[in-house]
Amino acid sequence: MYLYHFGLTELPFTLTPNTSFFLALEPHNEALAVLMTALKTGEGFIKVIGEVGTGKTLLCRKLLNEIPKHFVTAYIPNPYLNPDELRRAVAIELGVKQAQRMSVQLLTQRIQNRLLELHAKGHSVVLILDEAQALPEQSLEALRLFTNLETETRKLLQVVLFAQPELDQRLAQTDFRQLRQRITFSYQLRAMKAEEVQQYIQHRLQVAGYKGAALFSASLCKKITKASQGIPRLVNILCHKMLMLSYGQGNYQMTRKQLAAAIRDTESINPSADSFGRINGKSVFLVAAFSALLLMLGYVAYSHYLSGVS
């Protein structure tokens, strides 16, 4: 890959949410502030909505890492569960023993007992669900019933929902008006602006070990913003492909032609977003891959030569 070429210690633009690459830009700072404030109130549901690729899962993991120690968290990354599966998943996360073998009635009682036990020890309990738009309708209702568990002064369980905009569309239905009324705090993640995209790219390169001059110019970052619409995941995809091309061509500075090729090679970006030059993206990537292979073979042959000389 291009690590050695650019002096990197790791890939800077992977799609796996990695909190070591977290950059405290305005939208994510605001979202974290809302979450922390809401959790301190101890009431109801908290909702964070964002389009695909805006960094919800990364924000979710950042929250899990930074939540105050008196909170006990139950984290469910894939909530496509029926009500029974959801109850058992929550019970397992809370440390309820033999949760898989109990009847629903006994399980509900054990969950309540466990919540009361944690409350007596001074703990607050928060259930965090990522991709919450995937919750089946009956499971959404089961989730609402969870928040009925309370003392005279405080809810025993808070719920944080990270979801795509489809969740708002579902909650707008009359059937979910009770749940909708229990959402006390909500935040809408926005896409990045051009200056934020430039910060984001530079930050990820620095975290990955890059120490040289800027690889992506300000004007190129503006074009990346336009093509990606400021969506972090798409920025990652484009930058990764541009670095691959630059490595394959033996270059160091990113160019408009490389961006054009990366756009044309990315299905989730409309090819019309490339207004900076017509170029066959796939053929360029084939050339880059072949060039990279030749470079790698040359490096291996040279290493063998040196070992033979020594």
What is the pLDDT at residue 53? 93
Q: Is residue 17 part of a domain?
A: no
- Stated pTM of the model: 0.83
Q: Which of 155, 188, 221 is the last residue of a domain?
A: 188
Indicate whether 62 and 115 sit together in one domain. Answer: yes
Indicate whether 170 and 206 sit together in one domain. Answer: no
Nearest-CA neighbor of 35 among 1, 8, 62?
62
Own/partner pairs, 257-265, CB within 8 angstroms, 24+ separation: 257/284, 259/220, 259/223, 259/224, 259/227, 261/285, 262/237, 262/238, 263/227, 263/238, 265/241
Confidence label for 100 from pLDDT (cuts 50, 70 and 90): confident
Confidence label for 241 from pLDDT (cuts 50, 70 and 90): very high
Q: Which of 137, 154, 188 is the last residue of a domain?
A: 188
| Statement: residue 257 has pLDDT above 90 | yes
What is the pLDDT at residue 271? 65
Q: Which two tokens stand for residue 100?
A: 């898989």
Region for 81 from its dihedrals, namely left if φ exceeds 0, alpha if ψ lies in -120 to 50, beta otherwise: beta
Indicate whether 174 and 209 sit together in one domain. Answer: no
Q: Which of 188, 222, 246 is the last residue of a domain?
A: 188
Q: Is residue 15 part of a domain?
A: no
**Chain segment 6-63, per-residue pLDDT in tens:** 999 999 999 999 999 999 899 999 999 999 999 988 878 999 999 999 999 999 999 9
Indicate whether 116 and 245 sit together in one domain. Answer: no
Specify whether the CB–CB gap between 6 and 215 falls below 8 A.
yes
Residue 102's Cα: distance from chain center in Å?
Answer: 34
Indicate whether 172 and 92 sit together in one domain. Answer: yes
Q: Quick one: the chain helix, strand, coil %, rounded to 5?
A: 55, 10, 35
- Looking at 42-46, 85-89, 231-235, 270-274, which range is the least confident one? 270-274
What is the pLDDT at residue 239? 96
What is the pLDDT at residue 273? 55
- Number of separate domains in the chain: 2
Burial class of residue 45 (count of CB atoms within 10 Å of its CB; 0-12, 13-18, 19+)? buried
What does DSSP assign to residue 155? B
Specify whether the CB–CB gap between 50 and 56 falls below 8 A.
yes
Burial class of residue 192 (count of CB atoms within 10 Å of its CB; 0-12, 13-18, 19+)? buried
Indicate whether 31 and 174 sit together in one domain. Answer: yes
| Statement: residue 285 has pLDDT above 60 | no
Indicate whether 134 and 54 sit together in one domain. Answer: yes
CATH number (domain holding residue 141): 3.40.50.300
Burial class of residue 230 (count of CB atoms within 10 Å of its CB; 0-12, 13-18, 19+)? buried
Work out the angle between the directed axes of helices 232-248 and 194-207 (0-180°, nearest 10): 60
Percentage of the residues of the chain whose pLDDT score is greater than 70 = 87
Indicate whether 45 and 180 sit together in one domain. Answer: yes
More confident residue, 298 or 59: 59
Please give the residue range of the domain that contains residue 31.
Answer: 26-188
Whole-angstrom distance, CA of residue 174 vs CA of residue 305: 74
Indicate whether 176 and 211 sit together in one domain. Answer: no
**Chain segment 121-167, per-residue pLDDT in tens:** 999 999 999 999 999 999 998 888 888 887 777 888 999 999 999 99
